[in-house]
Structure 1
């Protein structure tokens, strides 16, 4: 039976959802469509941190940074700017950013998106309560603070989707002005003169890249031997080379111990005693689940040592009738995964046919310049023998469309299973890699053979032509 079949309507079960982020509001929409009576409790605003302080704001900021990165390479294509002088350096410097206006736009878009989500939920008959809630056993929740404090909602199905918050360091406490988390950067009225970014994971790399493109001097402090330690090694190498070429300072194997503010400056002290002086510091060292004081233990909901809620591939927790979705589960910190976890929870709880969560076909992107997009098995897993696969990597520098656009960095990498030629994964490093990864994701999801990909027409010239060319080369290897 389809999850959207009309025969399932009329289900009068009661669903209560803690948290209005992607896991929560997508679950609410599914449950309402299936006829359940749905209540969502959210403390900060519908859309959660994804919409208000994380994905939507950061990608809006990055969109402006992307324009600046494009401008910086425009002189190669023969573009000049009024008042920009005659050499490339002067031309690039003629375009600047008003970070105050950028952040106003960021917050306005986030607010509008949150409003749209509320309007959609209310249209579908979902009750929205404002405040923070906790479990009262496995069949009810209580709103403990906020505008609707004191409300008690009984339910047949509970979903916990309370998200996560920025992790901080004991000796690097944010003040919202000079020492910042990623939730606080959108209050800046002036571009940092020298931004020190502590943490070289996805969040740190994205913000370091963005502020560098916007015109700030950036120092990236990484405790690991390279940026993006969890990503494809070849992709990380390309990005680090780009960072160095653009003038960013990247400090590898440098663990930050403390961050101290001195008026209009900050000092970052490293574990080896070295110090770095800057105007601002962004601390991007991971996230912690918002699972404290939710009544989880009393309800029999198991959590890990890190505080994440344990769930199976149907989003079920250890307590009957209680489900969980999103970053509070620690499964995969992506909005798309949170949304799917929430949908799966409702389909399962309300008796619909549903497939378990399959992470192997989840695509993800690091929104830097160039972007890094991945899906499926990784080269590290193939190299270690965990997966049996053949690999082809094509640099974009040989792609005709890339040459026209002035693209020098990046590649397409495709993996197929040895023998059968089934596409099992891939990496794209390029402008708009988040769009280019889709055909690879489709091939992984549908278990297409490299010949299926190779025989599909591509536009000439196009960046996607490199995906087809990689598939054609893998055909030779899979024979």
Structure 2
């Protein structure tokens, strides 16, 4: 039987980072992965392929707008299969990169389905054989999968999940997206840009319900202007499959027919059949593995990181937890994760990003706040890019100057949000941001202006 110091089950952005850090710290390390390609859902069927698709649609959108910039392009067209191929090529390149990193760091990869067998033993099942390995420490990084809606069964034909939506054989003429979180909104943006008639329904009263309401409301206004139909405070009342379409009656009374439907209503943890019954591991009421602040479960020497250990279900959070978990095992001076410093990003057009408390959350938490807002149409770089629909909103503790939260919509805000994340991590104040020199002309100047605006000192609006 092979014996290891640390074995990771799952090779997503939590799993493979945990394995690499363990190897760097001198542990004999293995990783167990049931899929042929390493990298998990994020790399193969999530973060990376969707961003590749959105990049292709962005290029198409800019070409169609080219006359705004004095450039004439004739006969613009696209081929959906070529777009999908581009996306899959990006995935293949990065998956090969993870494989290379495993070899570089002398990490043994066991292909198969990993299951806890008790007594620090893992059973690995695959088509060819069944084997057992033992490990002093076991890290569960099994991730999540798309949640289904009762009565709306994903079939890959009329009803799609995210994976089906990434690899369409042809574009539907009309598309219903159930759910308006990051996944639903990104697919809405992609398909709408390529000319599909897109409708979103959301059970909450705003789209992007986890975002600050000013951002959600502006996003809805912009997406509606782009031609996306949005029904908030709505759900599916009746659902009927036809030969090549779906008839949907909404709870608000509308009755509509769609060529295809994407279900994007959240995720559930992959905890089935991984041997939890052979351990003392406990699950939360929502089905995630319970851990302490160092990702230790109730079973000695078994840990859980990433999406399977609970929300927010984000790749960068999983990778960060991986490092903390392994460094704690190694006895190093590991730092605790600050959840309030985890940024959220949605890669639609326009992009949406945030970190920290919303205005509503800050007020409910008892803070006396000041709020600064700066709009893209006052920013020189945004005007030069012809991307003038956007907003940076900053929430500050009036008493201490502490940065409580920041919320953005507009061009490249998924790149800008790291500035605020770093400021929060360093416990920066409004004075620190006001004192920082931002280069001109950049979109990042909106960060400076939004903080100035909290005191009525904005210089460019």
TM-score of the pair, normalised by structure 2: 0.93
Instruction: Decide whether the 8 Å contact of 1:173 with 1:179 is kept in 2.
Output: yes
Check whether the contact 2:124–2:132 (CA below 8 A) recurs between aligned residues: yes
Residues 406 and 18 of structure 1, relative CA distance in 2, 3 Å threshold: same
Equivalents in 2 of 1:66, 1:253: separation in Å?
A: 30
1:43-442 alignment runs, 5 A limit? 43-44=34-35, 45-82=37-74, 94-147=75-128, 149-257=129-237, 259-271=239-251, 274-442=254-422
Q: What is the CA-CA distance between 1:141 and the residue it aligns to?
A: 0.8
Unaligned 5+ segments in structure 1 are 1-11, 83-93
State the distance in 1 between where 2:168 and 2:99 align.
28
CA contact (8 A) 2:402 2:429 kept: yes
Deviations 1:2-42 (A, max 9, x none): xxxxxxxxxx9611111111111000001111111111111
After TM superposition, give the deviation of residue 72 of structure 1 in Å: 4.5
Aligned to 1:436, the other structure's residue is in SS state helix
Task: Please give the root-mean-square deviation of Cα atoms over the aligned residues, in Å.
Answer: 1.9
Q: Are residues 163 and 259 of structure 1, via their aligned partners in 2, closer, same or farther at CA, if it must alter by over 3 Å?
A: farther
**Aligned equivalent of 1:461:** 441
Residue aligning to 1:7:
none
SS in 1 for 2:125: strand
> SS at 2:162's partner residue?
coil
Determine the structure 1 residue equivalent to 2:27: 36
Per-residue Cα deviation, 1:209-241 (whole angstroms, up to 9, x for no partner):
111012211111222222111111111111111
* 8 Å contact from structure 2 (residues 271, 308) kept in 1: yes
Confirm or deny: 8 A CA contact 1:15 1:39 kept in the other structure. yes
Task: Calculate the TM-score normalised by the size of structure 1.
Answer: 0.90
Deviation at residue 144 of structure 1 after TM alignment: 2.8
Number of corresponding residues: 454
Give yes or no for contact 1:16–1:40 (8 Å, CA) kept in 2.
Answer: yes
2:22 touches 2:29 (CA, 8 Å); kept in 1? yes
SS of structure 1 residue aligned to 2:118: coil
Q: Deviations over 1:93-119 (max 9, x none)?
A: x53331111111111211221111011
